[in-house]
């Protein structure tokens, strides 16, 4: 019995010294999502690809089953955080008529050499205040949630999914794993009327496609009003305190940019100054390039 207990303690000591327990500094029970905030972990719902968000409380699965979303989700503003926890840099354009289409392509970059960070790269549409709703095909690297010492959502690899983030919580399509070098498409498109998916007055389709693997994971959201803020290229990071935690490259380009309405000029935003990693954004009519150094 003493031998067994000794082996157990030895195993726990080894586990706690491994990369699996380099835990994020945050509030217990809260997790970061790709919209610059941290919410209760029970407010994040992963649903099958091709599901449709009917309203703030219900999702229709592809087989017609209705899934009830969690209510009364809470956000954390008291976490003890490293230098960067949120949006880092992006391109953007506001159009009051709203966007019915946004698409671009990018390649999965080299993985970070440091296992600590959570990295999000995506294109997106947001509401007018940029505070309540964002829809986005999201490439992610890192662990989004730890349970005890183990990563229970995400991991030290690249993964891709379609997201709808709203003031009450997050809904995410099923995840597909992708590899460095894979050629991705992030597409958001609005359709009028219904699509046989439970929507009656229009809906957005959010599609995350890995063209190299021939895989996709999709999500729809019933919505009759077009979203007016478009961000063709965004870098968001959590648990980032040094430049060597970034993807092991100097930039990423979101190419073949197309939107409806189309734009000839895109604005740029840089949200952080520390750490100083050479942040810069190049935004042209058909591409956005985000820059940093390791």
Per-residue pLDDT tens digits of the chain, which is 294 residues long: 333 333 333 333 333 333 333 334 334 455 677 766 666 677 788 999 999 999 988 999 999 999 998 766 655 444 434 567 799 999 999 999 999 999 999 999 999 988 778 999 999 999 999 988 999 999 999 998 877 778 888 999 999 999 999 877 889 999 999 999 999 999 999 999 887 889 999 999 999 999 999 999 999 999 999 999 999 999 999 989 999 999 999 999 999 999 999 999 999 999 999 999 999 999 999 999 999 998
Condensed to tens digits (0 to 9), the pLDDT of residues 68-125 reads 987 666 554 444 345 677 999 999 999 999 999 999 999 999 999 887 789 999 999 9
Q: What's the pLDDT at 28?
A: 47
Q: What's the pLDDT at 37?
A: 63
Spatial separation of the C-alpha atoms in residues 266 and 259, rounded to whole Å: 11
Residue 1 belongs to some domain of the structure: no
Phi, psi of 163 (to 5 degrees): -125, 145
Q: What's the pLDDT at 77?
A: 43
Q: What's the pLDDT at 73?
A: 67
- Residue 223's domain spans which residues? 35-75+82-291
Residue 105 belongs to some domain of the structure: yes
Spatial separation of the C-alpha atoms in residues 95 and 230, rounded to whole Å: 8
Residue 70 belongs to some domain of the structure: yes
Residue 157 belongs to some domain of the structure: yes
Residue 46 belongs to some domain of the structure: yes
Residue 5 belongs to some domain of the structure: no
Residue 175 belongs to some domain of the structure: yes
CATH code (residue 228): 2.60.120.700
Q: Are 128 and 185 in contact (CB under 8 A)?
A: no
* Domain total in the chain: 1
What does the angle CA 243 – CA 15 – CA 149 come to, to the nearest 5 degrees? 70
Residue 68 belongs to some domain of the structure: yes
Cβ burial 62-84 (10 Å sphere, 16+ → b, else e): eeeeebebeeebeebeebebbeb
């Amino acid at each position: 019995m003493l031998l067994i207990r000794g082996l157990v303690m030895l195993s726990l000591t080894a586990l706690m010294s491994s990369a699996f327990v380099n835990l994020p500094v945050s509030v217990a029970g809260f997790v970061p999502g790709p919209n610059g905030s941290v919410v209760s972990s029970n407010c994040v719902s992963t649903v099958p690809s091709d599901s449709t968000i009917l309203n703030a409380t219900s999702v229709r699965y592809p087989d017609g089953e209705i899934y009830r979303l969690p209510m009364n989700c809470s956000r954390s503003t008291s976490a003890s955080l490293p230098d960067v926890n949120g949006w880092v840099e992006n391109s953007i354009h506001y159009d009051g008529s709203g966007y019915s289409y946004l698409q671009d392509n990018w390649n999965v970059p080299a993985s970070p050499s440091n296992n600590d960070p959570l990295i999000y790269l995506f294109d997106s549409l947001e509401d007018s205040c940029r505070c309540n709703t964002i829809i986005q095909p999201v490439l992610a690297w890192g662990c989004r949630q730890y349970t005890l010492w183990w990563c229970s959502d995400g991991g030290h690899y690249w993964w891709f999914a379609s997201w709808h983030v709203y003031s009450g919580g997050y809904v995410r399509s099923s995840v597909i794993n992708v590899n460095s070098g894979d050629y991705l498409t992030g597409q958001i498109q609005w359709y009028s009327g219904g699509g046989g998916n439970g929507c009656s007055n229009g809906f957005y389709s959010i599609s995350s496609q890995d063209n190299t693997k021939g895989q996709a994971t999709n999500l729809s959201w019933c919505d009759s009003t077009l979203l007016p803020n478009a961000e063709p290229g965004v870098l968001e990071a959590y648990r980032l305190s040094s430049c060597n935690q970034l993807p092991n490259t100097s930039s990423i380009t979101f190419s073949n940019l197309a939107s409806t309405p189309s734009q000839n000029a895109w604005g740029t935003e840089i949200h952080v100054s520390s750490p100083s990693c050479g942040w810069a954004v190049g935004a042209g009519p058909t591409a956005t390039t985000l820059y940093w150094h390791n």
